[in-house]
Amino acid sequence: MNVIEKSLKAPRSRYSAGVMEYRNMGYWQPDYEPKDTDIIACFRVTPQDGVDPIEASAAVAGESSTATWTVVWTDRLTACEKYRAKCYRVDPVPNAPGSYFAFIAYDLDLFEPGSIANLSASIIGNVFGFKPLKALRLEDMRLPVAYVKTFQGPATGIVVERERLDKFGRPLLGATVKPKLGLSGRNYGRVVYEALKGGLDFTKDDENINSQPFMHWRDRFLHCMEAVKRAEAATGEVKGTYLNVTAATMEDMYERAEFAKELGSVIVMIDLVIGYTAIQSMAKWARRNDMILHLHRAGHSTYTRQKTHGVSFRVIAKWMRLAGVDHIHAGTVVGKLEGDPNTTRGYYDICREDLNPQQLEHGLFFDQHWASLNKLMPVASGGIHAGQMHQLLDFLGEDVVLQFGGGTIGHPMGIAAGATANRVALEAMIFARNCGRDTLAEGQRILEEAARNCTPLKQALDTWKDVTFNYASTDTPDFVPTATAAE
Amino acid sequence: MRITQGCFSFLPDLTDDQIRSQVQYCIDKGWAVNIEFTDDPHPRNTFWDMWGLPMFDIKDAGAVMLELNACRKAYGERCYIRVSGFDSSHGWESVRISFLVSRPKEEPGFRLLRQEGDGRTFRYAVQSYAADRPEGQRYQA
């Protein structure tokens, strides 16, 4: 009989006062088979030197569920075996000595339905500062259908967003207004008008455009909506601009969102830094008011970028799909911001698929069923330009917003020309792909052909032809196809 | 002006061969192909008139081109015509691609109406100049 069985079957010794190893308190159960309704988390655990990986992983299970540092008799007033998180598997991380993937199952009853705040307070609330660990990272989570169904999900979803915008068959095009700080409302609106009239579908406030001395929020909203509506009349297309309603309080955010609605905007925007509860509140507001909700992932790199410590962005993406945003920045692969191609593919699948099969090379540790929860449009933004259109389409697919900020506004012939260059490049690439051409191999030629009828595209290709951002990624999946257990 | 609705409005007007290639793409994907026309191209006009039912079980783009030519003959001078591909698979059940294949010679475009409200707010309305004339008489010299 092993130690656990002994301890579980001998409550007297299990609950006598004092300190006991977590693994012996029921938080390590290698024989446990997770139930369909369990939430499962995969952590990357890096124990302090000399700390046993199993004990460290059991401690993570304990500290993220029922345990405290010492035995408490009050456990016996509860169905404590049900409420204990169970670490059931610990594997060494391939090519990373000293780190382990720990798989921990949590009973559904540990969580409040429909609350990301509660989920995150449980899973990442306390354990990340635990002294016996050097570092800890939440890599992925399996969210059972029973739990997924307690969330609203994206307010609009990809399909209804497309229907509402009357835009099908190609990625949407956007641009962030630049310079991101300092423009007056009137000048800001000028950029919006030029970009939308030139051919973009969306323009966007940047994450830190809220209500500053150079441009207060009402002035921005008024000028932006004048620009949007003028562009609609000039093109006959539905246009939008992500009005950032991020503010100090919920009351302020609701006030700004209501004003955006009153002026006829189709979309509003929030920043990740407003917090999970505020995000869920805004998602409900957006659903009630037929508004598309754009989320900028401001701040995420402080905890998503390093492999050893923090929370993987794939987990944040899953939480945001549950929380109910319609757009999320999810990487570009080819642009200026961090993004390993395989890892980024994993994020995009989380946003757009109804079933994510386990795919370790994409960083997906579990099968994830979304149970028809609305799909969420990933946004590719940061250092991309028309000359990369074939790669963007190949890596990111069709249901994505491609945001060319500098790649629109920095065009030598002006903003509208920049927008036209991007739109022509995109339509030409989609057309060629649908005709069966190998766009990845022939991309440059397809763009050059399209540029023959479009001077702005030719100028864009000439201006940015050599711009690439080839740096090694800091966040890549670590996996071997057949992982082996540590014990 | 040139209305830029649909997937390919920034490219030169599509030739019949080019239209056929995109229709074949829809057919190969298993999508139903629909031909629709309107003389009210307001960006919020979702329900254009259908030229017959969506074509669900066709194998060859030639059949669609025959229908498109018939539609053009009837409405080409005085309407916009678009082709769309409809995907009935679970989780989508909507249009997958949509593009203009015919437009009137003159496109008068849209006016923007502004109704001033409290403070500096506006209620905006986009109106098609062509829709000033009765249905059936728009886009005619």
Judge: B99–A230 Cβ closer than 8 Å, yes or no.
Answer: no
Say which of A197, A204, A294, A296 is annotated catalytic: A296
In A, which residues are within 8 Å of B36 by CB distance? none
Of B11, B12, B22, the CB nearest to A434: B22
Give percent of chain A with pLDDT exceeding 90.
Answer: 82
pLDDT bracket for residue A487 (50, 70, 90): very low
ipTM tops 0.90: yes
Give percent of chain A with pLDDT exceeding 70.
Answer: 94
Q: Residue A17, class by beta-carbon neighbours within 10 Å (0-12 exposed, 13-18 middle, 19+ buried)? A: exposed
Q: Is A6 a catalytic residue?
A: no
In B, which residues are within 8 Å of A238 by CB distance? 43-44
Reduced to 3 states (helix: H, G, I; strand: E, B; else coil), residue A128 is: helix
Question: Mean pLDDT throughout A53-69?
Answer: 92
Q: In angstroms, rounded to a whole number, what is the distance separating the alpha carbons of residues B76 and B60?
A: 23
In A, which residues are within 8 Å of B110 by CB distance? 232-234, 236
Helices A341-352 and A389-396 cross at an angle (nearest 10°) of 60
Radius of gyration of chain A (CA): 25
- Asked if B20 contacts B65 with a C-beta cutoff of 8 angstroms, the reply is yes
pTM: 0.94
Mean pLDDT of chain A: 92
Q: In angstroms, rounded to a whole number, what is the distance separating the alpha carbons of residues A85 and A101?
A: 16
- Four-CA torsion A41, A47, A52, A53, nearest 10 degrees: 30
What are residue A133's DSSP bridge partners?
A47
Q: Which of A431, A446, A447, A454 to mutate to test the interface with B (most CBs of B within 10 A)?
A: A431
Q: Is A82 a catalytic residue?
A: no
- Asked if B101 contacts B83 with a C-beta cutoff of 8 angstroms, the reply is yes
Q: In angstroms, rounded to a whole number, what is the distance separating the alpha carbons of residues A331 and A154?
A: 19
Q: Closest chain A residue to B92 measured between Cα atoms?
A: A159
- Quick one: pLDDT at residue A468? 65
- Quick one: pLDDT at residue A486? 43
- Asked if A352 contacts A338 with a C-beta cutoff of 8 angstroms, the reply is no
Q: How far is A299 from chain B (nearest CA, A)?
A: 32
Q: Which two tokens stand for residue A8?
A: 């579980």
Say which of A167, A178, A229, A309 is annotated catalytic: A178
Identify the residue with better confidence: A483 or B20.
B20
pLDDT value at A1 more than 80: no
pLDDT value at A5 more than 70: no
Looking at B4-140, which runs of residues are DSSP E strands?
32-38, 49-50, 80-87, 94-102, 110-116, 122-128
Q: Which of A357, A392, A390 is nearest to A378 (CA)?
A: A392
pLDDT value at A65 more than 80: yes
What are residue A240's DSSP bridge partners?
A202
